[in-house]
Amino acid sequence: MSRIDAAPITQDVIVVGGGFAGVATAQRLARKGVRVLLIDKNNYHQFQPLLYQVATAQIGTSEVARPLRAIFRRHRHVRVVIDTVTAIDPVAKTVTLADGTVCRAAVLVLAMGSEANFFGIEGARDHSYPLYSLRDAVRLGARMVADLDDADSPTGMKRSLDLIVIGGGPTGVELAGAVAENVHTAIAAAYSADFARNIGVRLLDMGTSVLRPFSEKSQSYAHRQLHEMGVELHLGVQVTQVRPDGVTLGDGTDVPGNVVVWAGGLKAPQLIADSGLPQGKGGRVDVDPDLTVPGFEGVYVLGDCANITDRKGRPLPQLGSVALQSGKWAARNILADLAGRPRTPFRYLDKGIMAMIGRGAAVAEIGPRRLQVQGPLAFVSWLGVHAALLSGVWQRLGATVSWAVSYLTPARPQVILGHVDDF
């Protein structure tokens, strides 16, 4: 009998996605003896906020990726399945795997994260590098290293690394700042100062400022720091085309570049649309205050594939802290479901927002009242918060050592192997 004809795999709860929300849900349920089937296409949990540092060789893949089975090795009630989900039936609360296996549960939790939203811009999907997965980060890093090696040829510079980052949010600002910092430190030390001066970093955004979720004070600080680091800013003009040799702006300007990074927006995975669940902004599911989907009893949607609001009905951002807290809260409501108790509305504890710009330069707006900090203090706060959020002890230790080497010396502790074609 083939697996597609076999009886469905049945558990109390199925969690699709091993990110912040999915892992938090599964961990809390397992502690209460609930049987959980956790499904993800990757065998690791990734720490997405630090992917740009993997791409720029400041930390390694082992610091941002932790095996899912290692996370749950002490949770006997969690079964981890590494496979691709090809279909979701929110009415029957089943998911179908790539080999046809059907999995069914009393409660279905969808926490598959997000993917790049190219907004239909010509050439963006084919000619830009997104930065939303570990594979994306390794691929981007390999491409940048390959271009640097090609430029440093025995016959002279064949081509320089001209990096274009599309998107002035935290991901775009942090990547542009990290590459600009590498130009002045690691690249200048490994190659030469003259070689480094031929490298360009450009940050593009259709808005008139970077870090739009932040205050004007933080935006001004980030703008000034990026300018001092040599990042060329193109703001207030939309990208209309992405080509292998650069981009075209809405005013007709051509901006040259041989590596284009897409940090311009996110949307829910196509699997959400294919499931028949109602979609809102960004293709995400508008969930009720208790994190369930209206009209679909026993179905929760969390993290970056959900539109979650606070107690006043204001949309919450797609942040790791929102995903983590929503996962824990969903587990609380699922336990209530299984016990026949009423659910409670999600209450998000706003701890603030922060962004790294470069060595000793960061912005932090702490707490719901947004206490504003810039410079070295924000830089140290950023390091501490992100170290604490990493999944395991070895990940925290490894990241701390890598940061110490990276920020105290011009060296880069990690090596990016392979050529872009290998990925």
Band of pLDDT at residue 146, cut at 50, 70 and 90: confident
423 has pLDDT over 60: no
Position 416 scores a pLDDT of 67
Position 192 scores a pLDDT of 84
H-assigned helices in 15-55: 20-31, 51-55
304 has pLDDT over 60: yes
Position 150 scores a pLDDT of 83
What is the helix (H) or strand (E) element at residue 298, kind and residue range?
Answer: strand 296-301
Position 4 scores a pLDDT of 40
Position 422 scores a pLDDT of 45
Distance (Å, rounded) from C-alpha 233 to C-alpha 238? 13
2 has pLDDT over 50: no
Q: Work out the angle at residue 399's Cα, subtended by the Cα atoms of residues 318 and 329, and round it to the nearest 5 degrees.
A: 35
172 has pLDDT over 80: yes
Band of pLDDT at residue 260, cut at 50, 70 and 90: very high
Position 242 scores a pLDDT of 98
208 has pLDDT over 90: yes
- 14 - beta bridge partners? 37, 108
User: CB-based contacts of 287: which residues, under 8 Å, 6+ apart?
Assistant: 293, 294, 300, 301, 306, 307, 308
Judge whether 285 and 279 are in contact, CB under 8 Å.
Answer: yes
Residue 86 or 153, more confident: 86
Across the chain, mean pLDDT equals 91
Q: How far apart are the first and last CA of the chain?
A: 37
Q: Can you tell me which residue has the tokens 């610091």?
A: 63
- What the chain holds in terms of domains, given with CATH numbers, is 9-41+83-114+268-338 (3.50.50.60), 129-266+352-408 (3.50.50.100)
Judge whether 130 and 138 are in contact, CB under 8 Å.
Answer: no
Distance (Å, rounded) from C-alpha 152 to C-alpha 146? 10
Q: Can you tell me which residue has the tokens 């599309």?
A: 166
Kindly state the average pLDDT of the residues 108-135.
95
1 has pLDDT over 50: no
Please report the DSSP string for 177-225 in residue order: HHHHHHIIIIIHHHS-HHHHHT-EEEEEESSSSS-TTS-HHHHHHHHHH
Q: Which of 21-35, 97-111, 274-288, 401-415 has the lowest average pLDDT?
A: 401-415
Distance (Å, rounded) from C-alpha 289 to C-alpha 343? 10
99 has pLDDT over 90: yes
Q: What is the DSSP letter of 74?
A: T
